[in-house]
Copies of this chain bind each other. A is one copy, B any other.
């Protein structure tokens, strides 16, 4: 199998070797050479493999076949908050509960095809969980590099798939570069957040959204932003569809960061093309721990995606995230993790600034389920206790008597 990679920034093309980054320093992505014919062909399959002809590998076996195919649901209960016509693309309905499965479904088999015995990943969250699940389902070893002080909850979520878990002492943020270097001379494929095969998998979320809206195109798509990898994949999907002549006007991409660590927002506001890495004293704690990367490897590409599509980047506070998470559940019926709730909080801010209008279609993409870390003491609960024999009386006082 050979793939063609290109650099979104300098245009350099790589035909003969699989690399994560261009000589110019920016991350690469894989060219699908999309055609209208590829888009129009009959797609019977459910899940992300209905777009197999636009992906760099043949459909693999294993849990990869369960990835993608998530629902898109008109959710009018969130219109008032968001300031537009809201659609929720629920990426929590993936086999390991996050959009990461779309990337792992492509990147893990791709690494195996390339001859790597072992896959590794630098993550202590959804990417670690997903990579470990996809590796074990193909009977491959997986090594997960986590921070020394990882929480017990996170460890259990990852450990169920029985990868080798290495707690790494020292500066965890430096591991991205370390991992790429190690994979040059050891038989381990480091599936970092912007591995080009992973990014290809992410574009299927955009294809699904556009297929459901066709022949219309949504006005706005809002994503949480951390490494910038998911935004890159969505943008790659938009570029594919534009090149294939399937869409004319791209949806505006809005990225939302936690105010506790928002280098992409800062660069957007400054007019910079490249985010400046934040130092430890420029970042803080946040409930949105799935995001908050102080040095996003695909940050510059995410900025390019936003500017190319006429979108924006905004940051939101933990209080706004908490309120939005509650609204997803209570108005929409969706249990989303705090990082995903940022999408609603961010669009709400944009609507206040007049950047989203009431008649526009707004696709919020909650990227991960909230079920993974619920029940650990963070939710307020009100109950009352009634004995069974007193239930009728209590209910009668709560409800009107049935009319008929």
Chain A residues at the B interface, C-beta cutoff of 8 Å:
46-47, 61-63, 65-66, 69, 71, 73-77, 88, 90, 92-97, 117-118, 133-134, 136-137, 139, 143, 145-146, 148, 152-157, 159-162, 164-172, 174-175, 178, 182, 184-188, 326, 329-335, 369-389, 391-392, 394-396, 398-403
Contact = CB atoms under 8 A, between A and B. Distances in A.
Nearest to A212: B46
Given A186-B402, A375-B372, A386-B169, A137 B380 contact: no
Given A95-B333, A96-B333, A188-B399, 10 more contacts: A46-B46, A63-B75, A66-B71, A95-B334, A133-B333, A148-B385, A157-B374, A159-B379, A161-B329, A166-B394
A130 to B, nearest CB: 9
Given A65-B73, A133-B329, A369-B371, A156 B378 contact: yes
A174 B400 CA distance: 24
Contact of A400 (B77, B117, B134, B335): B117
B66 A73 contact: yes
Contacts of A187: 399-403
Contact of A371 (B61, B137, B157): B157
Contacts of A88: 66
A73 B69 contact: no
Contact of A374 (B63, B160, B402): B160
B65 A46 contact: no
Contacts of A388: 168-172, 174-175, 178
Contacts of A160: 326, 329-330, 335, 370, 374, 379
A132 to B, nearest CB: 8
A382 B90 CA distance: 33
- Copies of this chain in its oligomeric complex: 2
10 contacts: A47-B71, A62-B77, A63-B334, A95-B333, A152-B375, A156-B374, A156-B379, A161-B333, A166-B386, A169-B387
Contacts of A167: 383-386
A375 B156 contact: yes
A50 to B, nearest CB: 10
B77 A71 contact: no
Nearest to A161: B329
A166 B385 contact: yes
A51 to B, nearest CB: 14
Contacts of A186: 392, 395-396, 399, 401-402
B402 A185 contact: yes
A60 B375 CA distance: 30
Contacts of A399: 117-118, 186-188
A58 to B, nearest CB: 15
Contacts of A331: 136-137
B165 A383 contact: yes
Contact of A375 (B96, B146, B154): B154
A348 B387 CA distance: 43
B377 A152 contact: yes
Given A71-B66, A186-B401, A157 B334 contact: no
Contacts of A145: 391
A97 B371 contact: yes
Contact of A165 (B139, B376, B382): B382
Nearest to A129: B335
Nearest to A188: B399
Nearest to A68: B71
Contacts of A69: 46, 69, 71
B77 A93 contact: no
Contacts of A369: 97, 371
A157, A174, A326 interface centre (most CB from chain B within 10 Å):
A157
Contacts of A401: 185-187
